[in-house]
């Protein structure tokens, strides 16, 4: 089992290298998209810090907490989709019958297909998350290590969530819009403190739109340096990934080839 795991980690590293080199072939586009996303996140962060400061939205919440919230969400999203960029477009890949090519490889389908592409703008998100956490929050070593671990957990959750929502295309035809809308809802809830929402909404954020594991538990973990909250976050991420894998493979049984003739480089 360990051999297999290390083998797939090696594949992930190799794919990241290939994808990164492919992005650098269009260097200007890659840099401009990454930089634009970095700038976009900075604009949102400045706005939110101003908003929380001016209106005293939540007592006990300061600029550092808002920055932590944005840093962990952006870095998690960025890492997840930089490494597994195809998960963002999975719904379209399934609907177009583009899984055909991936089915021919002697690798497990799901990890292979999601590794196949890098999202340039997500790279900007990842950089933003780490820069903001280091510059605005100025963490000590234990906080930084915990932040790094949590961003990996959040990345795993985003990967799982994108696969889960993308897999809807197996069941409803083209689920591209629904998948994007659902993911945007997760991002929207993740960029606000959980304390703003009431009990029923919190239940929703622990299940259907799992924002609690993206920013709720991670931010509490970092504020209190609590491993328990970090563990909740990781458990949530693993649950989402497991559900996503099950739904994907159930859906795969319904997959029909697009019979498309195409060249792959």
Partner 1 sequence: MSALKKYWAIAWISAKSNLAYVSEVWSRLFFLAVILYVFMCVWKATFANNPAGRFEGFTLNEIVWYLAFAEAIIMSSPRVTPLVDEDVRTGAIAVQLVRPLSYPLYRLASNFGEQIVRFATTFFAAAVIAVVLGGVPDNFATGLLFALIVLPFAFVLDFLGYLLVGLSAFWFEDTTGLALIYSRLTMIAGGMLLPLELFPENFRLVLKGLPFAYIVNGPAGLFVHPDLTVLGMVLVNQLVWIAVFSLLVAAVYRKALGRIALNGG
Q: What's the per-residue H, E or C state across the chain?
A: CHHHHHHHHHHHHHHHHHHHHHHHHCHHHHHHHHHHHHHHHHHHHHHHHHHHHHHCCCCCCCHHHHHHHHHHHHHHHHHHHHHCHHHHHHHHHHHCCCHHHHHCCCCCHHHHHHHCCCCHHHHHHHHHHHHHHHHHHCCCHHHHHHHHHHHHHHHHHHHHHHHHHHCHHHHHCCCHHHHHHHHHHHHHHHCCCHHHCCHHHHHHHHCCCCHHHCCHHHHHHHHHCCHHHHHHHHHHHHHHHHHHHHHHHHHHCCCCCCCCCCCCC
CB nearer to partner 1: pick between 67 and 146: 67
Q: Could you say whether residue 184 binds partner 1 (CB under 8 A)?
A: yes
Among 8, 109, 131, 201, contact with partner 1 (rule: CB under 8 A): 201
Among 23, 33, 119, 122, binds partner 1 (CB under 8 A): 33
Kindly tell me which residue out of 51, 62, 135, 228 binds partner 1, with binding defined by CB under 8 A.
51
Binding to partner 1 by residue 10, rule CB under 8 A? Answer: no
Among 26, 62, 138, 242, binds partner 1 (CB under 8 A): 26
Question: Applying CB under 8 A, which part among 1-9, 51-59, 141-149, 221-229 lies near partner 1?
Answer: 51-59
Q: Which stretch binds partner 1 (CB under 8 A): 50-58, 70-78, 143-151, 250-258?
A: 50-58
Complex with partner 1: residue 145 or 172, whichever CB lies closer = 172
Minimum Å gap between C-beta 89 and partner 1 is 15
In the complex, minimum distance from the CB of residue 95 to partner 1, in angstroms, rounded to a whole number: 11
* Long-range residue pairs from 96-102, CB within 8 A, at least 24 positions apart, any chain: 96/258, 96/260, 97/256, 97/257, 97/258, 97/259, 97/260, 98/258, 98/260, 99/252, 99/255, 100/257, 100/258, 100/259, 100/260, 101/262, 101/264
Query: Which span sits near partner 1 by CB under 8 A: 6-14, 42-50, 111-119, 151-159?
Result: 42-50
Q: Among 59, 200, 253, 264, which residue interacts with partner 1 (rule: CB under 8 A)? A: 59
Size of the site for partner 1 (CB under 8 A): 39
Contact between 196 and partner 1 by CB under 8 A: the answer reads yes
Residues 163-182 that bind partner 1 (CB under 8 A): 174-175, 177-178, 180-182
Residues contributing to the site for partner 1 (CB under 8 A): 26, 28-29, 32-33, 35-37, 39-40, 43-44, 47, 50-51, 54-59, 121, 174-175, 177-178, 180-182, 184-185, 188-189, 192, 196-198, 201, 209
């Amino acid at each position: 089992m360990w051999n297999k795991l290390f083998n797939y980690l090696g594949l992930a590293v190799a794919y990241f290298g290939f994808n990164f080199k492919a992005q650098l072939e269009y260097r200007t586009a890659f840099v401009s998209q990454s930089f634009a996303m970095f700038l976009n996140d900075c604009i949102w962060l400045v706005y939110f810090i101003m908003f929380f400061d001016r209106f005293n939205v939540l007592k006990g919440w300061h600029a550092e907490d808002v920055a932590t919230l944005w840093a962990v969400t952006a870095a998690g999203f960025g890492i997840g989709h930089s490494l597994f960029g195809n998960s963002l477009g999975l719904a379209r890949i399934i609907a177009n019958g583009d899984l055909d090519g991936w089915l021919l490889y002697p690798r497990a389908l799901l990890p292979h297909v999601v590794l196949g592409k890098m999202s340039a703008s997500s790279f900007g998100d990842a950089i933003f998350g780490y820069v903001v956490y280091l510059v605005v929050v100025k963490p000590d070593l234990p906080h930084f290590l915990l932040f790094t671990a949590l961003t990996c957990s959040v990345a795993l959750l985003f990967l799982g969530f994108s696969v889960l929502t993308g897999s809807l295309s197996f069941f409803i035809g083209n689920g591209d819009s629904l998948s994007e809308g659902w993911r945007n809802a997760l991002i929207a809830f993740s960029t606000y403190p959980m304390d703003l929402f009431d009990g029923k909404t919190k239940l929703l954020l622990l299940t259907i739109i799992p924002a609690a594991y993206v920013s709720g538990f991670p931010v509490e973990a970092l504020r209190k340096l609590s491993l328990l909250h970090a563990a909740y976050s990781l458990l949530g991420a693993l649950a989402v990934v497991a559900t996503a894998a099950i739904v994907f493979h159930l859906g795969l049984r319904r997959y029909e080839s697009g019979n498309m003739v195409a060249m792959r480089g």
